[in-house]
Chain A
Amino acid sequence: MAQRILVLFALAAALASCTHRSRTPLNSIAYSLKSNVKSLDPAQAGDEYVNEVVPNIVEGLLQYHYLKRPLEVIPQLADGMPKVSKDGLTHTFKIKKGVRFQDSEVFPDGKGREVVAADFIYSWKRIADTRTKSDGFWIFDGKIKGINEWRDKLAKGTGKFEDPIEGLVAPDDHTLIVKLNKPYFQLYYVLTQAYAGVIPHEAVEKYGAEFLNHPVGTGPYKLDHWIRGNKVILSRNPNWHGETYPTEGEKGDLEAGLLADAGKPLPFVDQLIFYEIPEDQPRWLTMMKGAVDFSDLPKDNYDGAVEKDAKTLKPQLVKKGIRLFIAPNADIVYISMNQEDPILGKNVNLRRALALAYNTVPSLEKFYNNRGIVAQSPIPPGLDGYDPNFKNPWKEFNLEKAKEYLAKAGYPGGKGLPPIEYSTTSSSTSNQMAEYLEQQFAPLGIKIVVVANSWPQFTDRIRTKKSQIFGIAWRVDYPDPQNMFQLLYGPNSSPGPNNSNFNNPEFNKLYEESLTLPPGPARTKIYQKLRDIFVDQLPWIPTVHRLDYRILHSWVKNYKHNPIMHGDYKYMRVDVDNKREMKEKL
């Protein structure tokens, strides 16, 4: 027995003596995701982690320009931007010739076949088919002529998948005509999304529901292998149709070195590795050791990494060549107040009192490490209608004024006001946020009852309008504040995305009008009017627009943050010599 133990100890010691060496190729980019990649099916591209990976494998008709800001839509598989009819209802896309799907066993000879217009119709129909259980149908819902009728018939069993959709026509292999029910100025934005990517029907027919593990697309990378719960590895697609690095960008890009590779063929790196590391410490340490090339900045490591100015890295990180990139996210965190609640819904002064009593600044430090800016309205920075100088009068922290408005609301000193129920999830951060909220309203004499739920219970309470107030966030799906304002449009009330059930006739009318207008000063003016109605009526207390903090090693080149979409890895380059040299020192 003793001998066996000794042998085991010796083995352990032998293991310990071997310093670990990485097996990852140098010309690769490894990124650590905060959560798991759930699926590689573009129909399931509902979360940011799937969107980090899938756009590298599956492409669509359009994409965002990598460098230009505000974000600009440019062709991807489309041969130029589409022709639009005078009424704005018919969009004719020409599809690039010679684009082939990645080589795969799903094709008879293993060689990827050419992409044709019918493939787009197939892929989009698949999103609309209820059997796919895609959460992405909203991009076409009620927009494309006949798509809802086709979907309903299919769900009821009175229609077939092969049945045509009036608004999706392919007159030849390289032309796709999209007919709309009404103007849809966000169409090009949604067509950049992974949901609208093109896949071959052969792959879905072969793999069925398992397609989510065997994606086939036209992208610059293809799936190499995936260890679920650990990592996804993509390798270069040798048959990619090819693109070049952009030759122009926005002001400052040249100075930042972002145009050094202008005109060079993409992609630059051979392999992409997405590690799924939910815990902060290993995510941080793998970054510090150079096992990953770039990462977010974990909350727990923030204080040790960033100077008090919240803008520069500490010297020990700078010495390692690590760089920090800060950019605003197009999102908002807010406290929603149910407008159908008999107490809160009918009493604007009560809502104003709550907003005046809520001090956002300390919460920024407490919960976000100051990685955010105080939100004044639903419009996030960088989007049409955002005004950095705009001040919401109810967002100044003013307890005296709050008390005054509480009295105006009919509850002087909080007397007569029943406790307000705050719904939240049961995580520790959510509990801390609930405690913070209780503290904020206590000086007014307002009592908060915290109801902690599991996430499904929480969303159920919101959908069934049972919550009085709750904290929630929204990140826009495309760079248009319409995506924020639809959260306040009456007909979208719960169970729709309008979770505050705000239903203001004037707001609804203006919102509907904004949908008929192309981007331009007239629409911007309407957006600002919508913002003003929001501020006046205050269905939410807007709290924070979060900032994205990302840290990169010196060898990672061409990184630029996209506030809407990630997954632009084809543009990124690795300085292999620098990586080899620096990694030795880490």
Chain B
Amino acid sequence: MGKYIFRRVLYMIPILFGVTLVTFLLFNVAGGDPAAQAAGRYATPAQIQAMRVEMGLDKPMVVQYLNMVKQIFTLDWGRSWSSKQQISILIKEGVGPSLSLTIPAFILTLLISIPLALVMAYKRNSIFDKSLLVSCLALISISSVFYVLAGQYFISYKLGWFPIWGWDPTWEGRWDYVALPLLIMVILSIGGDILFFRTVFLEEMYQDYVRTARSKGLPERRVLFKHVLKNALIPIITLVVLEIPFLILGSLLLESYFGIPGLGNLIYRAIQESDFPVIKAMTIMSAVLYIVLQLVTDVLYALVDPKVRFE
């Protein structure tokens, strides 16, 4: 297993090289002249040039690229063009609020959707199954902006159950602000998750081993939870693990509409302000997270399924 992980880590190097190179080239083409941006609206060519030297943009492209690679390893992303804030601090500050929203929403979604999907698969074609199926389809068909706007208007503004917008950095105070976006996030993801899990469970339920288990006279509860659920774990793990980077990156829409100062909000602002160092840091960070978590998924596969070998 150690060898396998080592080999996978080696594979990551060319992928990361590709990601960083593409990101670097993309932002150098689309990023405009940051020195001119920083020098302000009255800047003369001499002042822009002085700023270019100050920002290290007069150096050859290779040196600039190597500086970016250094940033990745030192986790020092420099400062935002737009706000001059230190990007690593902005990221550090944003992780907590993002996770406060996404982790509870994610767990709650799984806790609701997995058992519901299992029951739906078990009672396939029943009224329960059909009505939930239709509800799930309806949930995923409606635009996420609708849930946000309607939730904020009716639940927060009209009923006054939650604050409309805001954030309290204290641990106990934040839940008041997180509650509504959390519920919306659950609604946003639950429909798709239930449909996905139901399909996975259905696929398993028609396998030979399930028929064998039933014919052995095992109680249905044991068949479902011991056998079907266990075998359905691989696709579930894939979904769960690959969603983790998105949990860390937060939700652009919800954070922005509800004033949660998380990473989603940070990315949203950076995009609006064409703040390329921040976008670059977030792009590379999410790519690295994604690659690392894919490795974690592969290792987990082997742990839950003896058929998968580290080869």
Chain A interfacial positions (CB closer than 8 Å to B): 1-2, 4-5, 8, 12, 15-20, 22-23, 36, 38-39, 41, 44, 46, 130-131, 133-138, 141, 155, 209-210, 212-213, 227-231, 275-279, 281-282, 285-286, 288-289, 291, 454-460, 463, 495-497
**Contact: B79 with A209, CB < 8 Å?**
yes
Chain A nearest CB from B55 CB (Å) reads 8
**Contact: A495 with B157, CB < 8 Å?**
no
Chain A nearest CB from B202 CB (Å) reads 20
**Contact A230 to B166, CB < 8 A, known contacts A39-B83, A459-B32:** yes
**Contact A457 to B32, CB < 8 A, known contacts A135-B38, A135-B43, A281-B153:** yes
Cβ proximity bits B144-159 to A, threshold 8 Å, 1 near / 0 not: 0000010011011100
**Contact: A130 with B51, CB < 8 Å?**
yes
Determine the chain B residues whose CB is within 8 A of the CB of A282 once the complex forms: 152, 164-165, 257-259
**Contact: A495 with B43, CB < 8 Å?**
yes
The residue that B153 contacts in the complex, of A19, A131, A285, with Cβ under 8 A, is A285
Query: Is B161's beta carbon under 8 Å from chain A?
Result: yes
Cβ proximity bits B73-91 to A, threshold 8 Å, 1 near / 0 not: 0000001101111100010
Interface hit among B7-15, B128-136, B175-183, B212-220: B175-183
**Contact: A495 with B45, CB < 8 Å?**
yes
**Contact A495 to B48, CB < 8 A, known contacts A229-B261, A275-B166, A289-B164:** yes
Complex Cα distance, B46 from A495, in Å, reads 10
The residue that A137 contacts in the complex, of B37, B47, B155, with Cβ under 8 A, is B47
Chain A nearest CB from B303 CB (Å) reads 22
**Contact: B111 with A5, CB < 8 Å?**
yes
Determine the chain B residues whose CB is within 8 A of the CB of A18 once the complex forms: 161, 176
5 cross-chain CB contacts under 8 A:
A130-B47, A209-B86, A282-B165, A457-B32, A495-B48
Complex Cα distance, B272 from A38, in Å, reads 13
Determine the chain A residues whose CB is within 8 A of the CB of B108 once the complex forms: 8
Question: Please, how many residues of chain B have a CB less than 8 angstroms from a CB on the other chain?
Answer: 69
**Contact: B265 with A229, CB < 8 Å?**
yes
Query: Is B34's beta carbon under 8 Å from chain A?
Result: yes
The residue that B165 contacts in the complex, of A155, A228, A286, with Cβ under 8 A, is A286
**Contact: B83 with A36, CB < 8 Å?**
yes
**Contact: A15 with B175, CB < 8 Å?**
yes
Complex Cα distance, B53 from A8, in Å, reads 56
Complex Cα distance, B143 from A49, in Å, reads 32
Determine the chain B residues whose CB is within 8 A of the CB of A44 once the complex forms: 84
**Contact: A155 with B50, CB < 8 Å?**
yes
The residue that B42 contacts in the complex, of A36, A131, A291, A497, with Cβ under 8 A, is A497
B194-218 contacts to A (CB < 8 Å): none
**Contact: A456 with B31, CB < 8 Å?**
yes
Complex Cα distance, B262 from A486, in Å, reads 42
Chain B nearest CB from A432 CB (Å) reads 17
B100-116 contacts to A (CB < 8 Å): 108, 111-112, 115
Chain B interfacial positions (CB closer than 8 Å to A): 30-34, 36-45, 47-48, 50-51, 53-55, 79-80, 82-86, 90, 93-94, 108, 111-112, 115, 149, 152-153, 155-157, 160-169, 175-176, 179, 183, 256-261, 265-266, 269, 272-274, 276
Chain B nearest CB from A54 CB (Å) reads 13
**Contact: A133 with B84, CB < 8 Å?**
yes
**Contact A228 to B93, CB < 8 A, known contacts A20-B162, A459-B36:** yes
Determine the chain A residues whose CB is within 8 A of the CB of B30 once the complex forms: 454, 456-457
Determine the chain A residues whose CB is within 8 A of the CB of B83 once the complex forms: 36, 38-39, 212, 228
Complex Cα distance, B37 from A211, in Å, reads 21
**Contact: A456 with B33, CB < 8 Å?**
yes
Complex Cα distance, B33 from A210, in Å, reads 24
**Contact A136 to B40, CB < 8 A, known contacts A227-B261, A288-B157, A456-B31:** yes
**Contact: A289 with B157, CB < 8 Å?**
yes
Complex Cα distance, B66 from A157, in Å, reads 26
Determine the chain B residues whose CB is within 8 A of the CB of A137 once the complex forms: 40, 42, 47
Determine the chain A residues whose CB is within 8 A of the CB of B257 once the complex forms: 279, 281-282
Complex Cα distance, B157 from A291, in Å, reads 11
Chain B nearest CB from A185 CB (Å) reads 17
Most buried by B among A141, A229, A460: A229
The residue that B36 contacts in the complex, of A2, A209, A230, A495, with Cβ under 8 A, is A495
**CB-CB nearest 9 A-B residue pairs:** A456-B32, A135-B40, A138-B42, A38-B83, A229-B261, A282-B165, A460-B32, A230-B261, A455-B274
**Contact: B256 with A278, CB < 8 Å?**
yes
**Contact A38 to B48, CB < 8 A, known contacts A228-B93, A455-B274:** no
Complex Cα distance, B79 from A41, in Å, reads 15
Determine the chain B residues whose CB is within 8 A of the CB of A454 once the complex forms: 30-32, 274
Contacts A20-B162, A135-B42, A286-B164 aside, 18 further interface pairs with beta carbons under 8 A come to A16-B161, A20-B160, A20-B161, A36-B83, A38-B85, A39-B84, A46-B40, A134-B40, A229-B261, A229-B265, A230-B260, A281-B257, A282-B259, A454-B31, A457-B30, A463-B33, A495-B45, A497-B42
Complex Cα distance, B169 from A454, in Å, reads 34
Closest to B155 in A: A16
Chain A nearest CB from B165 CB (Å) reads 4
Determine the chain B residues whose CB is within 8 A of the CB of A19 once the complex forms: 160-161
**Contact A496 to B152, CB < 8 A, known contacts A15-B179, A456-B33, A456-B34:** no
Closest to B160 in A: A19
Closest to B42 in A: A138
